[in-house]
Amino acid sequence: MNGYSPKSVAVNLSLLKGFLGRNGVRFDEYFWKDLKRKRKGGRSSRAATQDEAPTVEQLRAIITHLPINTRAQALTLASSGMRIGESLKITLADIHLDEEPVRVEIRAEITKTGDARTSFLSTEAVQVLEEWLKVKDQYLKTAAGRSHLHEKKLQDERVFPWSAPVFYRAWENALRKAGFAMRDNNTKTRIHVHHPHTLRKFFRTRGGQSQVPVDAVEVLMGHEG
């Protein structure tokens, strides 16, 4: 049923199923489930996005325009495959800086799937992270000075103690300064081609180019099998 919207296809399949049933022609549920899977793999009414993972060279150019705090977060995302929301909830206790390679425990309560998992940080990500941690206390003091929630700000144990919009804004500014602020015209909001979530694509791409099995990369990213 190419050329029809998913809703129209679903309605027509339902009518067909009813018509066949009334005329004594019956298929088991496996047939209909298989047909639904094939239908979902066909044409979609949703426009395909043009987002893409930055290359290594592009990522290096972008992060040079990020301040040390969000640069550390960007490299953590790119080297671990974490989701942005997950990275904003990890604490220093979750990062084992004394191990080689540095291991990150992503607790079940902060993951999208509800399953705990382990990932790792690259040498470069660790170096920038350690530089960030040296100035984190001063960052919190400065942030507290601009807020009435002084005590809460100073006691923030998260490695990256800010909200997602803070990272989004920093990333967008860095894209513009690096000359990579291309927009995806296929989306209504015209998000950037290299939007922040493509850092997970970067991780997946790099994993696929290495000797790491695809299934292992999926596990590190927290994808359900």
Indicate the Cα dihedral angle 206, 72, 92, 86, nearest 10°. Answer: -60
Q: What confidence tens digit (pLDDT) does each residue in 14-32 have?
A: 776 666 666 655 555 545 5
DSSP for 173-202, please give it. HHHHHHT---B-TTSTT--BTT-TTHHHHH
**This prediction's pTM:** 0.68
The pair of three-digit structure tokens given for residue 221, joined into one six-digit string: 């990213």
Q: What average pLDDT does the chain have?
A: 77
Q: What confidence tens digit (pLDDT) does each residue in 166-193 have?
A: 999 999 999 999 988 777 666 554 456 6
Domains of the chain by residue range? 6-41, 56-221
pLDDT at 182: 73
Q: Which of the following CATH numbers is that of domain 56-221: 1.10.10.410, 1.10.443.10, 3.40.50.150, 3.30.465.10?
A: 1.10.443.10
Q: What confidence tens digit (pLDDT) does each residue in 79-125 have?
A: 998 999 999 999 999 999 999 999 999 999 999 889 899 999 999 99
The residue among 121 and 5 whose pLDDT is bigger is: 121
